[in-house]
Amino acid sequence: MKIGFVQLNVSFGNPGENLKKIISLTADKEADLLVLPELANSGYLFSDKNELTELSENIETGKFCNALKKISTEKNCCIVSGICEKSEDKFYNSSVLFCPDGKYFVYRKIHLFDKEKKWFSPGDKEPEVHEISGESFSKVKIGMMICFDWIFPETARTLALKGAQIICHPSNLVMQYCQRAMFTRALENHVFTITANRIGNDIKPDGEISFTGESVILNPLGDYLMRASQDKEECLIVEIDPSAALNKNISDNNHLFNDRRNKFYKI
Ligand code: ACM
């Protein structure tokens, strides 16, 4: 199975431009699963509610989402993308898994970072896993979490306990820790992880924010299979055997899940 990410300098307020870049970065690439950054349609640093309203979209009808659905079908590739979502009168920092058969699944970020709390409602559903199949793989379970969710190990653990073999992780990372910390998220759950980060800055009259790049893919032993640059847009792909994530033994006598002592974790 070929999995990868698109590391992108998302242009704030310019979903058309972002889509063009995604199309051109993936044009000559073959993959079964590609992950794009957080808020890949809109950009990150909002200044007011009007911007948020204008740049968010309904997942069923939005132009950006429909373009990703089409790319997924044409390339016969599952695509996970961060989306600035509008649903009724609420806004969510969401991730959507688009499948080639037209089905899609939504996860809404449950741990909002810093000023995101001003703009977005926190996710209203438990993280779930979704089974995908393709020409060269079948019944692989995929989970989604978004950026700052990484610092709450419960997010990745919940997905792994539900059977996720690959955790897709659209991100707009602003601190330096996550790329190193994903070693632990991958190892402690014996899962593959794909962190698709942003590069560049959002520069607004009232502030500026920089993103750290270095998108990473890890295997269930915590090996870094792929690491992108800090400052280039790139689409990197690696071939994996997703069944490696089904083995939860860490020694002959230790199983990551069966050895949990839940009665001692009353927090
Ligand atoms: C983040 O959650 N975008 C830092």
**Looking at the whole model, is its pTM more than 0.75?**
yes
Q: How far apart are the C-alpha atoms of 98 and 165, rounded to whole Å? A: 17
User: Mind telling me the catalytic residues?
Assistant: 38, 109, 147
> Using a 6 Å cutoff on CB, does residue 147 contact ligand 1?
yes
Which residue lies with its CA nearest to atom 3 of ligand 1? 172
> Using a 6 Å cutoff on CB, does residue 55 contact ligand 1?
no
Give me ligand 1 centre to Cα 174, in Å.
Answer: 7
pLDDT at 267: 67
> Using a 6 Å cutoff on CB, does residue 112 contact ligand 1?
no
Q: Mean pLDDT, consecutive 10-residue segments, the chain of 267 residues? A: 98 98 98 98 97 98 98 98 98 98 98 98 97 96 98 98 99 96 98 99 95 98 98 98 98 97 87
Q: Which ligand 1 atom is the nearest neighbour of the CA of 38?
A: 3
CB-based contacts of 173: which residues, under 8 Å, 6+ apart? 147, 179, 195, 197, 198, 211, 212
Q: How far is CA 80 from CA 69, 96, 105, in A?
A: 10, 5, 9
Q: How many domains does the chain have?
A: 1
- CATH code, domain with 168: 3.60.110.10
> Using a 6 Å cutoff on CB, does residue 174 contact ligand 1?
yes
Q: What is the residue range of 63's domain?
A: 2-264
